[in-house]
């Protein structure tokens, strides 16, 4: 079965950290750009971060720049989102998505873009 599965969500206090993982099964992540999105109740889905196919380019939503880091380990078929200094406003369900983009030098975490695979999400709650 070709799918992406997110993990690593949970509840953390403000200022804490979490590392989310996005695991691909049934296909290799090589040549795919990967993006993380999030959605809170009553809000539209927003792009958080992306990494291009070879990991040389990353992009972030302004509000997470400097706090979140996206990375990929193609040998393990995994993409990570390290989230530090978490705030209550980061509370959301986080999703990863993969889009075929071989040799694309850049990426953008655009939630309206077409992706080949999307995960079901993992919930992150930041609360004291």
Q: What is the pLDDT of residues 50-96, one digit of tens each?
A: 999 999 999 999 999 999 999 999 999 999 999 999 999 999 999 99
The predicted structure's pLDDT at residue 1: 87
Q: Say whether pLDDT at 117 is over 90.
A: yes
- Report the C-alpha gap between 21 and 10 in whole angstroms: 12
- Report the C-alpha gap between 106 and 121 in whole angstroms: 24
CA atoms within 13 A on the CB side of 33: 24
What is the DSSP pairing of strand 18-25 with strand 3-7?
antiparallel
The predicted structure's pLDDT at residue 14: 98
């Amino acid at each position: 079965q070709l799918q992406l599965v997110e993990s690593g969500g949970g509840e953390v206090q403000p200022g804490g950290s979490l590392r989310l993982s996005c695991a691909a099964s049934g296909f290799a992540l090589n040549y795919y750009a990967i993006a993380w999105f999030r959605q809170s109740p009553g809000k539209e889905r927003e792009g958080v971060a992306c990494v291009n196919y070879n990991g040389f380019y990353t992009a972030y939503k302004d509000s997470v720049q400097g706090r979140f880091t996206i990375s990929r380990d193609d040998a393990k078929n995994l993409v990570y989102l390290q989230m530090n200094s978490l705030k209550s406003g980061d509370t959301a369900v986080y999703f990863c998505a993969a889009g075929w983009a071989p040799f694309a030098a850049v990426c953008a975490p655009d939630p309206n873009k077409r992706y080949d695979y999307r995960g079901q999400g993992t919930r992150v709650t930041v609360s004291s």
